Amino acid sequence: MLYFSKLRIVFISILSLLFILIASSNLFKFDDSFFNKKINLGLDLQGGSYLLLEIDNEPVIEQKLQNLTTTFRNFFKDKDIKLSNIKIDNQNIFFYVNEENKQKVIDIFQDENSDINPYYPRFKSHQLEIEDLGLNLKINFSRQGLINLKTSSQDQAIEIVRRRVDEVGTNEPNILKRGNSRILVELPGLDDPTRIKSLLGKTANLTFRFVTQNDEERFGVEKLEYEDGTPSVNVSKRIIISGENLLDAQPKMDTQNNQTIVSFTLDRVGAKRFGKATSTGIGKQLAIVLDGKIISAPVVRDTIASGAGQISGGFTFQSATDLALLLRSGALPAPLEIIEERTVGPDLGQDSINAGMIALTIGFLLVIVFMFVKYRFFGLITNVTLIINLFILLGVLTLFEATLTLPGIAGIILTVGMAVDANVLIFERIKEELKQEKNNILAFDGGYTKSRTAIIDANITTLLAAIILFFMGSGPVKGFAVTLGVGIFTTLFSVYFIARLFTSLYVTKNKHNGKLI
Amino acid sequence: MIAFNKYYNHFNILSSALIIISLFLLIFKGLNFGIDFKGGTLIELRSNETKINVSSLRDKFSQMNLGDISVKKFGSDNDFLIKFENKDNKKNIISDIKVNLDKSFGNNYDFRRVENVGPKVSAELLKSGVIAISLSLAIMLIYIWVRFEWQFSLGAILALFHDVIVTLGVFSLFGLEINLSIIAAVLTIVGYSMNDTVVIFDRVRENLRKYSDIKIFELTNISINETLSRTIITSATTLLALLAIYFFGGEILKGFSLAMILGVVFGTYSSIYIANTVLVRLRVSQKTVLREDDSK
């Protein structure tokens, strides 16, 4: 165990130096992209905001089912099958069909090449499930159908979230999917997420619809409230133009009456429809509806054919800016709810870094002094190894551009405390060996060999704990698992290669000097 | 040589008592779950005016109808930690609070940290925390079962349970907060306690093979003594590192390092006085390890 070939010594030295060099790239700037890596600081250290959003898919499902009823009605009408009594209840569609056609309908739904019920061969499942309730037929989304629906609304939502966050212009936001109905937004450096939260909290579903007096209209009517609390009015369900028709929206100052407004331009289709509606609807009130509330309902005075218009509604400059931003970035497919928020101010982050560094330094010094007092020369070897170990650990974290969190720093300090364990096991074993064995070389060799199983067992248990923590833990705690786990490997490397090398050099030189430890 | 085995019975009684008391506390007093597991909102506030203190803050926050509120100092004299239920999960709660505080305190304070955990997330975090701890115990059990004979696994697992339960018992007794980092600490304790036990067990097994005429009662004592200096040194360096975190690592890591310190102390104790006594009570002998060797 004490013999090292020249090649091996060279190899160990190069490897150690390499990691130390990589670790030092956190302090200096290197031109080379391989060396110019840095450990990422977690949000708890650099300050910033962590938001977990959940997509409320219920309205999406309701809407999809609503659309499906129309599709079904038309589809079966063509086949001369009449569906009646169609209603939606609790995410199920119920309808009645006469006995002779019932089996036909069921077969159409269960056909793998069905036109109205897509089949996913990969999951061996249809989008919709049909069930015969005797009197009625029941249709609902299958498990796979729901997953598909959620995934696609998540895909849309994450895109819109990204646009909105980018528009606000925070530095290097991190936007990730979580499961199939959640989105994680990490905003480094942002200490007040109020604005982003309010922007993400809005669906931004914009429609232009006529205010109507009569309750009966072909498309239906609904009673909508004004944003500012003015009594509600009847608004037609017929949508003239919607947010999808917008090309651009900007906040502006209306010079005539000194009001802040949002001016918008429409795409070709939108401009055409808007022009037509404004020409036929002169004198009528056109309601501008955002997320089910009327912002304003100006009276149409002129035909607007240019495809440009403006929205006024008692905006402040800030609210006009935000509305324009929301309109530019598009509507979310479903409302988002912020179900978890963690925000750390930059000064607290810096305080945490400082405290962590002080604790690391003090912990390190305490351990070093303790080891030196206990083992003298071999304590010195352990300490030098410990320092190299620390650098290698930082090097590995840098190489993988791992995220360092406050618990992560705690993990490093803990590694310092536990890293000496392997060396202690070895040294204590050597001491025991020396009680019977006069030959230093043989005693040291025996110490290394016989302590090996205990060391490996001991480290595997800690490693197992770290692995579980890595997979089950979240955010900052994950950072702890990373440093603890990586620390085990760097510790074993430094104990078995670096410390053993030093020990070997020392023992071979002083083998005749009596008991060495 | 220290006669640890003289006190096996005494400490077994003590440990049993500790476990029963801890379980009693856990069942009847329960744990003080932080917002990670209970849901709610946490604000760390720093003031630069003397008018802002625990009682004035409590007054202000009570007026805002936020459900259960706790206000306490956090480390230094002008840092405060405010926690409340936020039952309805109100959307703009933080800006509402700011507006409200501005009225009485002006601009003399600063939110250093804001955490808001909804009920759904907190329930999930609690579940995954419990799973993580159970899983780690199960994996340790499997690992030690593969590595050692079943008598050893039983001893090690009992020692683990003891450490986890008693540490949580202390947290319950003093009403210390359980949050995500405490779960991390408990898992690390599981690893550490195992580590400590395994080192002694390794020696017990080695000695069992070496000596056929020494009874397990004596043999465990010999093994404990042979590994004693290692046990002491490693516990000492780990504790030194943890004490450094506890005293200098800032308020956020206090609970974590305290749990770890308790765990290291209990872990060291249980490796000696629980893990080994199980071997004695199960009358482990040379046959136990030799039989296993034959079958391998």
Owner of token pair 């009130």: A285
- Cβ separation of A428 and B203 shorter than 8 Å? no
Any B CB within 8 A of A113 CB: no
Pairwise CA distance, residues A448 & A422, whole Å? 10
Chain A partners of B248 at a C-beta cutoff of 8 Å?
355, 358-359, 362
Strand partners, A187: A49
Q: Supply the pLDDT for residue A89.
A: 87
CB atoms within 10 A of CB A85: 10
Owner of token pair 């036990």: B197
pLDDT higher than 70, residue B293: no
* Structure token digits, residue A289: 């509806």
Q: Is residue A308 part of a domain?
A: yes
The mean per-residue pLDDT over the stretch B211-238 comes to: 93
pLDDT in tens, chain A (517 residues): 677 888 888 989 998 998 888 888 887 766 676 667 788 899 999 999 999 999 999 988 988 898 888 888 888 888 888 888 888 888 899 999 888 888 888 888 888 888 788 888 888 888 999 988 888 899 999 999 999 999 999 999 999 999 999 888 777 899 999 999 999 999 998 888 888 888 898 899 999 999 987 766 667 788 888 888 788 888 888 888 988 888 899 998 888 888 889 999 999 999 999 999 888 888 888 999 998 889 888 888 888 888 888 888 888 888 899 999 998 888 898 899 999 999 999 899 999 999 999 999 999 999 999 999 999 999 999 999 999 999 999 999 998 888 899 999 999 988 888 888 999 999 999 999 998 888 888 999 999 999 998 899 889 988 998 999 899 877 788 889 999 999 999 999 999 999 999 999 898 888 888 777 7
Burial class (CB in 10 A: 0-12, 13-18, 19+), A162: middle
Any A CB within 8 A of B42 CB: no
Q: Helix or strand or coil: residue A50? A: strand
Q: Helix or strand or coil: residue A66? A: helix
Q: Supply the pLDDT for residue A22.
A: 85
> In this structure, what are the phi and psi dihedrals at residue A49, rounded to the nearest 5 degrees?
-125, 135
For residues B230 and B222, the answer to whether their CB atoms sit within 8 Å is no
**Nearest CA among B13, B108, B120 for reference residue B56:** B108
- Domain assignments of chain B as residue spans, ordered by start: 4-34+121-295, 40-117
Going across the sheet that includes A293-296, the strands are A233-236, A221-226, A293-296, A286-290, A206-210, A241-242
Q: Strands B32-33 and A119-120: what pairing?
A: unpaired
**A113 and A250 both lie in a single domain:** no
* Structure token digits, residue B137: 């115990």
Q: Is residue A137 part of a domain?
A: yes
**A349 and A496 both lie in a single domain:** yes
**A72 and A36 both lie in a single domain:** no
Give the burial string for B179-191 (b: 16+ CB within 10 Å, else e): bbbbbbbbbbbbb
- Looking at chain B from residue 9 to 38, which residues have their Cβ under 8 Å from any Cβ of chain A? none
* Structure token digits, residue A188: 């480094």
Specify the CATH number for the domain of residue A257: 3.30.1360.200
ipTM given for this complex: 0.90
pLDDT higher than 60, residue B294: no
Q: Supply the pLDDT for residue A154.
A: 94
> In this structure, what are the phi and psi dihedrals at residue A253, rounded to the nearest 5 degrees?
-105, 125
**A56 and A35 both lie in a single domain:** no
For residues A115 and A75, the answer to whether their CB atoms sit within 8 Å is yes
> pLDDT-derived band of residue B64, with 50, 70 and 90 as boundaries?
confident
Q: Is residue A378 part of a domain?
A: yes
**A368 and A489 both lie in a single domain:** yes
DSSP strands (E only) in A105-219: 119-120, 125-126, 128-132, 137-141, 174-178, 182-188, 206-210
How many helices (H) and strands (E) would you count in chain A?
A: 14, 21
**A396 and A503 both lie in a single domain:** yes
Any A CB within 8 A of B123 CB: no
Contacting residues for B172 by C-beta, under 8 A, at least 6 apart? B22, B25, B26, B29, B30, B31, B32
**For chain A, what is the domain count?**
3
- Out of A410, A475, A484, whose CB is closest to B253? A410
CB atoms within 10 A of CB A352: 26
* CATH of span B4-34+121-295: 1.20.1640.10
Instruction: Provide the residue range defining the domain that includes A147.
Output: 51-200
* CATH of span B40-117: 3.30.70.260
- How close does chain B come to A18, measured CA to CA in Å? 27
* Structure token digits, residue A424: 């202690």
Specify the CATH number for the domain of residue A421: 1.20.1640.10
Q: Supply the pLDDT for residue B89.
A: 65
Q: Supply the pLDDT for residue B42.
A: 93
Sequence length of chain A is 517
State the best of A344, A421, A462 to mutate against chain B, taking most chain B CBs within 10 Å.
A421
| pTM for this predicted structure | 0.86
Any A CB within 8 A of B55 CB: no
Pairwise CA distance, residues B242 & B237, whole Å? 9
* Structure token digits, residue B62: 């009570």
Q: Supply the pLDDT for residue B92.
A: 77
Any A CB within 8 A of B275 CB: no
Q: Supply the pLDDT for residue B26.
A: 96
